[in-house]
Amino acid sequence: MGRRKSSNNNNINGIVLLDKRVGISSNGALQEVKRLLGAGKAGHTGSLDPLASGLLPICMGEATKISSFLLDTDKQYRVSIRLGVKTTTGDVEGDVVEKNSLESLCVDDIKLVLSRFVGKVSQVPPMYSALKQDGIRLYELARKGITVKRQPRDIFIRKLEYRHYRDGLLDLDVCCSKGTYIRTLAEDIGDALGCGAHVDTLYRTRVGAFDVSEAISFAELQTKKESGDVLCCLLPTENAILSWPVLTLTEDLVYYLKQGKPVHTPNSPSKGRVRLRNAQNVFFGIGEMLEDGRVAPRRMLH
């Protein structure tokens, strides 16, 4: 996968795949990377709690225009769940509120329960989340000891793979849709087993097309900065959506799209989103096919 260099730190465009460390918020990690690269504009694509680590794609400059499409993609995690213990937050940072024996629990019981959580699942968002109610973050209410009713939402668990169970720790691989709370999933699994549970460790391994094997740590970024190669860590913006069909357009059609006007294109897909390239084969935006066969501009890059 090619990396892209830039000679102008005031015009940095592309994606950094950060392997976020434990103990820092997603926004804190974003600010560190933004400062290190000297970027003027940046945004991350899907928060990781401070206790979680792993893949955090960070979009720079024009790449921020496609960040919402990364937010919509599936995510994959490796999670260790502590069975038999409930906490106030659903993870190790909370206070213990309940303990239960695991003597009668066996692997067959665990695998049977896990099978119930594959597919479409209804989840109630946790109180310790960034969702807002009446303009207030739920975690702000939770820290004051206030619990409010939350509406359940449908999420989709594409894979829930058993890896290991020993001494109360259950290791799983999870592939899920956007909006999935792994802490809630852990608690729901614990409740289904009748013993309670919370997240012990959480590591994100994949976001859409990006894998954590491609990611770089902040320490490695610092080393690249010192050697003058930090901008080589930027991936092209288009790499986030390489699985989408491509439309290559004439200069006239590019002009009309950039004016916000849908255009007719030959050999185009019947529906869905597409990558847009100009006659020089340069990626310049995202389009969406309309019912009448035209492609409409959705995000144009400069």
Instruction: Report the alpha-carbon distance of residue 236 to residue 109 in Å, rounded.
Output: 46
Residue-level pLDDT at 2: 47
Residue-level pLDDT at 140: 85
Please tell me which residue, 41 or 11, carries the higher pLDDT value. 41
The whole model's pTM is what?
A: 0.89
Which tokens sit at 119?
């597919």
Residue-level pLDDT at 8: 45
**Quick one: average pLDDT of 92-105?**
95
Residue 296 has pLDDT above 70, yes or no: yes
Residue-level pLDDT at 258: 94
Q: Which residue has the tokens 């059609």?
A: 253
**Quick one: average pLDDT of 8-21?**
84
Residue-level pLDDT at 11: 77
Residue-level pLDDT at 215: 97
Q: What percent of the chain has pLDDT over 90?
A: 75
Q: What is the DSSP annotation of 146-215?
A: -------EEEEEEEEEEEEEETTEEEEEEEE-TT--HHHHHHHHHHHHTS-EEEEEEEEEEETTEEGGG-
| 49-65 tens-digit pLDDT | 899 999 999 999 999 99
Residue-level pLDDT at 128: 81
Instruction: Report the alpha-carbon distance of residue 94 to residue 88 in Å, rounded.
Output: 5
**Quick one: average pLDDT of 218-231?**
90
Distances (CA, A) of 139 to 125, 133, 157: 11, 10, 25
Residue 72 has pLDDT above 90, yes or no: no
Contact 267, 283 (CB under 8 A): no
Contact 108, 207 (CB under 8 A): no
Closest CA to 9 of 37, 31, 43: 37
Summarize the chain as % helix, strand, coil (round to 5): 25, 35, 40
Query: Is 49 among the catalytic positions?
Result: yes
Active-site pick, 19, 49, 91, 188 = 49
**Quick one: average pLDDT of 115-136?**
88
Residue-level pLDDT at 261: 96
Instruction: Report the alpha-carbon distance of residue 126 to residue 180 in Å, rounded.
Output: 11
| 25-34 tens-digit pLDDT | 999 999 999 9
Residue-level pLDDT at 5: 42
Residue-level pLDDT at 30: 94
Residue 7 has pLDDT above 70, yes or no: no
Distances (CA, A) of 275 to 84, 101, 219, 284, 286: 48, 54, 34, 8, 5
Contact 163, 108 (CB under 8 A): no
Residue-level pLDDT at 229: 85
Which pLDDT band holds residue 6 (cuts at 50, 70, 90)? very low
Which pLDDT band holds residue 10 (cuts at 50, 70, 90)? low
Average pLDDT value for the chain: 91
Least confident among 99-113, 133-147, 171-185, 188-202: 133-147
Least confident among 1-5, 23-27, 60-64, 66-70: 1-5
Residue-level pLDDT at 125: 86
Residue-level pLDDT at 142: 81
